Structure 1
Amino acid sequence: MARKTVVIVGAGFGGLAAAKALKGADVDVILIDRTNHHLFQPLLYQVATAALSPADIATATRTLLRRQPNATTLMGEVTGVDAEAKTVSLADGTTIAWDWLILATGAAYSFFGHPEWAEDAQVLKSMEDALDIRRRLLGAFERAELAGDDPDEVRRLTTFVVVGAGPTGVETAGTIAEMSRQTLRRDFRRIDPTKARVILFEAGPRVLTAFTEPLSAYAERALEELGVEVRTDTMVEAISDGVVRANGEDIEAGVVLWSAGVAARPAAQWLGAAAARNGAVVVRPDCSVDGFEGVFAIGDVASYAMDGKPLPGLAPVAKQQGMWLGKLIRARLEGRPEPAPFRYRDWGTMAVIGRSRAVAMLGGLRMTGLLAWLAWSMVHLMLLIDFRSRLTVYVNWTWAWFTQGRGARLLARLP
């Protein structure tokens, strides 16, 4: 009998976990991704704000699977799925056959029906996004130094708007404020970086709505102490030509960052499958897609209901689903009893606001300040995929702690 093939689309937390869970199984694993690396997305904002270098949070996927003989890595962009023929199509015309298909393509940002805003607002989902944001942030200060005799232009260039006060928005806004007020304050002669404006817009009544109200209130106070202007209950009405309109006010900004809404990548459209409001594929308790034999979806691209509520789009969810799905496929391959339906184990949620400032919910434990920051640091260090990354990130964080410096502030050209 011919050896079966599992095709995994996406080398994020879910896809990589599924591939590793199939190590040693009597099956060929083909992992397809648009990039050649696995990215630790929770620290992506630190690359965007020059705290870390790209290699600190990304590792070549081939390196991670080097010791897994049954795994093949392909760099390519999947553009469609033929469920009847059991093939996936790549942008270059290549087709790959599968017996089982795992869709782990993740999510992209949604502009709530205003795709034109993407021309002016930067998003943070990939390494390319992070490097572009870093170039724009640092470039804004460089251009402001050149325009030092024009206070209006300096003010525009050093105004930074962040839309969306979830963990990514809060972490990014806090880090930009910290960078301008601490790291850059002595580096320029014609401008004063400490006067940069960082404005955080949130349509809801508070920041970090996934956290308890006391933790949310602490986060807002910490942001304001860093100099961030927090504006809750504020809807963005338009973004065009570097101008953000919110609640009737126009704000000229040097950089606009969008972290408000997410939408699943188009896996549901590839299949013609049922989808949730955000475009995520609706899946059954075993992560399979109803009506499509051998097709599974995990992570942000899947809408998985547990206890009547959809699971959040978090890295631990994707990772746990990938590991569980690998066990399920192995059991089916080997004719063993299948594992019980997947259940997510929530170990907690964290968000960092700045140096020594963070909030954390770990089971019934609630933490703020330095203790939460230390817990956040330890957890993220341990979750990094390899020892080299852990070591370099630890060294960078330690150096930044004592010097308030950032080691990845190089620009090849102005944006």
Structure 2
Amino acid sequence: MNIPSVLRRPDAASGPGPGPRVVIIGGGFGGTNAARVLGRAGARVVIVDKNPYTCFQPLLYQVATGGLNPGDVTYRLRSFAARTPNCRFRRARVTGVDLEARRVECDNGGPIDYDYLILAQGVGANFFGTPGAQEHSYTIYTRTDSVRTRDVILSNLEALDTDRGRNFDVVVVGGGPTGVEMAGTLAEMKSIGIPAIFPDVSVDRVHVTLVEMAEHLLMPFDARLRHYTRRQLHRRGVDVRTTTAIAEVREGSVLLRDGSTLPADMVIWAAGVGAHEDVMDWGLELGRGGRILVGPDLRAKGQDRVFAVGDGALIEGNPLPQLAQPAMQEGVWAAEQILDLEAGRRTRSFSYRDKGTMATIGRNAAVVQMARFHGLRIDVTGFVAWLAWVGLHLYFLLGGRNRLQSMINLAARYLTFSRQASGIIGDIVDEGGDPGGAGPAAEG
């Protein structure tokens, strides 16, 4: 891209200067990628997020099952801003957006004026109006929720050792990558870890059920990969129930739409994501699931200086999967559109490059669906796919320390799996304790 000279200076200050002032709401995949491009081009960037860190959501299930520490998958946004030219960070919750005045209202530090605005606020859990789901379910879409889920899993496992008449029934709702990864890991903790860590507890007292409303697990994947996934989960002892819908989540049980019930000491909701309620007050046109409607160039409908990217945005007529890769590519694209506008050029339609998708099922088992190349596509399963999954996720972690610590922790868990697969370290949750607001509260 031919960038104007006033937008080329990597040492430009974030205060007054020639570059446009760009406010980015949300420090996730879309927001940080947009900030890199704009900051290096000389724009004055301010990232606003309610959390002081960015979180690598694809590995949060590892936090929930004790494989990684919370700090392994989080990175300080102040450190990110310090390493990115012309970038500043404001820890605040956005309370409103004044589109006419070009101003972002915050609960901390006063309003922020902008020349351009990028909305990368992300999403939270979507319970689809299911009665009792928000009150009685746990989620793993945020760092806080994953730590809470980890502690409840630990508490239930510890209770098995002292209460011989008790079982631990876990129902995982949602057959996408998050649900599959969570169910597979829990099943391996049951079959391999419990005999080592809790020798007096029978594995028959722990049950893992995966419930999916659709006909298959991992619906976007090829049929061969879906069948492989189901077989691997069955081998690990997961009770897989497809074409099964949840009617209500109750305390201690789940009511299915066919009238039957499943015992549930713990329900982990991984059935999908939805928009944050705050977005409804920003004066923008919303589409399905409360996502911000954007045009082909990622500008919000009816706006010439507001872009929306990531899971919280919906391209009209071209919906994309709510995954990390689309968010990262959209963040870069939105940044380049701003540079084009500043140079007097017209914006261009976003073109998503599908690089493939993957999901891990458990130890030595994963599925990788490559993007098509000249009409051909290579799909990989098993140990090679699992290695690819591990390598790619480590690569995309922010910060060398995070990559190194995650690599060490995952390697240690792999090598000592038979002795420490359920060796979760956390706090004990009181009997009957409230999930603590396990509703939609995803980090921006």
Taking structure 1 as the reference length, the TM-score comes to 0.93
User: Is this contact kept in 2: 1:267–1:281, CA < 8 A?
Assistant: no
Choose which of 158, 173, 176 in structure 2 pairs with 1:166: 176
Structure 1 stretch displaced more, 72-81 or 226-235: 72-81
Which residue is 1:199 aligned to?
209
- CA gap of 1:59–1:72, structure 2 versus 1, over 3 A, is same
Where does structure 2 lack aligned partners over 5 or more consecutive residues? Answer: 1-15, 372-376, 431-444
Q: Does 1:299 align with 2:307?
A: no
Choose which of 378, 384, 396 in structure 1 pairs with 2:391: 378
Which residue is 1:360 aligned to?
368
Q: Does 1:230 align with 2:246?
A: no
Which residue is 2:354 aligned to?
346
User: Is this contact kept in 2: 1:300–1:313, CA < 8 A?
Assistant: yes
Which residue is 2:271 aligned to?
260
1:89-109 CA deviation, whole Å, 9 max, x = no partner?
223583222111111011112
User: Is this contact kept in 1: 2:154–2:428, CA < 8 A?
Assistant: no
Cα distance in 2 for partners of 1:15, 1:318 equals: 8
Q: 1:338: Cα distance to partner?
A: 5.2
Cα distance in 1 for partners of 2:278, 2:134 equals: 21
Structure 1 stretch displaced more, 127-136 or 291-300: 291-300
Choose which of 267, 270, 273 in structure 1 pairs with 2:281: 270
Which residue is 1:394 aligned to?
407
Choose which of 308, 315, 330 in structure 2 pairs with 1:321: 330
Which residue is 2:428 aligned to?
413
User: Is this contact kept in 1: 2:93–2:106, CA < 8 A?
Assistant: yes
Which residue is 1:75 aligned to?
91
- CA gap of 1:233–1:24, structure 2 versus 1, over 3 A, is closer
- CA gap of 1:91–1:114, structure 2 versus 1, over 3 A, is farther
Moved over 4 A (4+): none
Matched residue SS, 1:413: coil
Taking structure 2 as the reference length, the TM-score comes to 0.87
Q: Does 1:20 align with 2:36?
A: yes
1:332-351 CA deviation, whole Å, 9 max, x = no partner?
33x26456422111100100
Which residue is 2:6 aligned to?
none
User: Is this contact kept in 1: 2:170–2:209, CA < 8 A?
Assistant: yes
The CA RMSD measured in Å over matched residues stands at 1.9
1:306-351 CA deviation, whole Å, 9 max, x = no partner?
xx43111111101011112212222333x26456422111100100
Choose which of 226, 229, 243 in structure 2 pairs with 1:216: 226
Identity of aligned residues (%): 37
Q: Does 1:186 align with 2:199?
A: no
Structure 1 stretch displaced more, 382-391 or 42-51: 382-391
Q: 1:222: Cα distance to partner?
A: 0.3
Cα distance in 1 for partners of 2:304, 2:89 equals: 24
1:266-319 CA deviation, whole Å, 9 max, x = no partner?
4652333322221111101211112223111000111025xx431111111010
Cα distance in 2 for partners of 1:232, 1:269 equals: 33
Cα distance in 1 for partners of 2:238, 2:44 equals: 51
Cα distance in 1 for partners of 2:80, 2:203 equals: 41
Q: Does 1:44 align with 2:52?
A: no
Which residue is 2:9 aligned to?
none
Q: 1:161: Cα distance to partner?
A: 0.5
Cα distance in 1 for partners of 2:69, 2:423 equals: 6
